[in-house]
């Protein structure tokens, strides 16, 4: 059991046929996990590259081998379901609670020395890091919102454990846990799952937040995120849910029609720094938030992206762990497509006022 697992959680590590790592997480005592991957697999393709954009200061990953990744297979060929009835998948066991494995088509893989921008116009380096898949349940037809609190807590433990291990890998600058749900979002595997990226650089959005936090500290002597959470809690107009240790609110300048940020009241840099009380309260609040998203448009599963923002290496004093949840659906029958001003200039135009979005989410009770 890894040191970051704080509740009774068992961790079983094994290897797939092509050498990739697979980890089973189970609530309570360890479940025997001796199933062997019998597939005749070639070594996974790697060979990605990162390139530095001198005009924006952003790193871009070039991963042409991912064109061959699995794309919307039928349910009977799902690679994330357990291996049953003679059908072999990425999960050799006949059943599982939570499973995490290295992506067979990773955008980032391997280790190398950090790459720094050169004096000339072009800077590139190997796309090192790691990409993992997190399967929340063996039930192909379920969703995260269908989980009970114990299973949601197990997923939180898996995210935390993976954050600790991946952040310690040579060359990793930032660990990003996320879930994309729904074909409208672009999901290519319908089975309930998320992913984790271990980046060899700090992502552009995090760089911008770090710069803002640094300016706020210089101007006020305070932490930007602590002030933001305190202001939203005091105002209340955009608060959706609140507990003893967490608050969910629609941000004042929300970019998406329905966007909620979930912050712990005590600022921490990443998942590994959450205390026992914060961990215990998170599953119930998060599940209720997901269920309210599903109730927004009269039932059904609302497509969404759920993104954990964690402090990268060297930025732990200013950045704050928080989860950003948003949907591209703006009405029951309309999606929010990025227009030219948004895709071309990164200047968002929101069709729903944040205050109205928060009100609708507060009212989305059973």
**CA–CA separation, 46 and 58 (whole Å):** 22
Other beta carbons within 10 angstroms of residue 332's beta carbon come to 11
| DSSP string across 93-115 | SS--SEEEEE-SS-SS-B--PPP
Burial (CB count within 10 angstroms: exposed 0-12, middle 13-18, buried 19+), residue 220: exposed
- As a residue count, the chain comes to 366
Beta bridge partner(s), residue 27: 9
Which is nearest to 192 in space by CA: 249, 117, 258, 142? Answer: 142
Which is nearest to 278 in space by CA: 162, 116, 153? Answer: 153
Any residues with CB less than 8 A from the CB of 205 and at least 6 apart, and which? 309
- Catalytic residue at 140? no
Contact 131, 195 (CB under 8 A): yes
Among the listed residues 46, 116, 140, 193, the single catalytic one is: 193
Burial (CB count within 10 angstroms: exposed 0-12, middle 13-18, buried 19+), residue 272: middle
Scan for tokens 């921490």, then name that residue: 268
Q: Which run of H or E residues covers position 172?
A: none
**CA–CA separation, 31 and 41 (whole Å):** 26
Enumerate the active-site residues. Answer: 193
């Amino acid at each position: 059991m890894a040191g970051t697992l704080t509740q009774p959680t068992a961790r079983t590590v094994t290897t797939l046929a092509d050498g990739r790592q697979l980890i089973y997480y189970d609530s309570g005592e360890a479940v025997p996990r001796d199933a062997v991957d019998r597939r005749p697999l070639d070594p996974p393709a790697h060979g990605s590259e990162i390139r530095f954009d001198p005009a924006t200061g952003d790193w871009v990953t070039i991963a042409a081998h991912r064109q061959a990744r699995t794309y919307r297979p039928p349910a009977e060929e799902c690679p994330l379901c357990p291996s049953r009835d003679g059908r072999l998948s990425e999960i050799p066991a006949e059943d599982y609670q939570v499973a995490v494995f290295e992506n067979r088509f990773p955008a980032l893989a391997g280790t190398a020395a950090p790459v720094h921008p050169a004096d000339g116009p072009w800077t590139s380096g190997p796309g090192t890091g790691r990409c993992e898949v997190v399967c929340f349940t063996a039930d192909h037809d379920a969703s995260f919102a269908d989980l009970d609190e114990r299973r949601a807590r197990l997923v939180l433990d898996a995210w935390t454990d993976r954050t600790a291990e991946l952040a310690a890998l040579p060359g990793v600058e930032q660990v990003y846990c996320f879930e994309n749900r729904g074909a409208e979002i672009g999901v290519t595997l319908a089975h309930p799952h998320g992913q984790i990226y271990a980046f060899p650089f700090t992502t552009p959005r995090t760089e911008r937040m770090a710069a803002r936090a640094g300016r706020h500290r210089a101007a006020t002597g305070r932490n930007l995120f602590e002030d933001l959470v305190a202001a939203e809690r005091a105002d209340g107009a955009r608060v959706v849910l609140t507990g003893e240790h967490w608050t969910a609110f629609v941000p004042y300048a929300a970019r998406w029609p329905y966007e909620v940020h979930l912050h712990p009241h005590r600022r921490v840099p990443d998942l590994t720094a959450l205390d026992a009380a914060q961990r215990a309260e998170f599953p119930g609040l998060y599940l209720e938030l997901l269920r309210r998203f599903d109730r927004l448009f009269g039932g059904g599963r609302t497509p969404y992206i759920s993104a954990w923002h964690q402090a990268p290496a060297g930025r732990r004093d200013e950045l704050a762990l928080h989860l950003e949840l948003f949907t591209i659906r703006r009405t029951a029958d309309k999606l929010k497509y990025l227009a030219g001003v948004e895709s071309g200039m990164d200047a968002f135009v929101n069709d729903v006022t944040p205050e109205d979005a928060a009100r609708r989410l507060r009212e989305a009770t059973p």
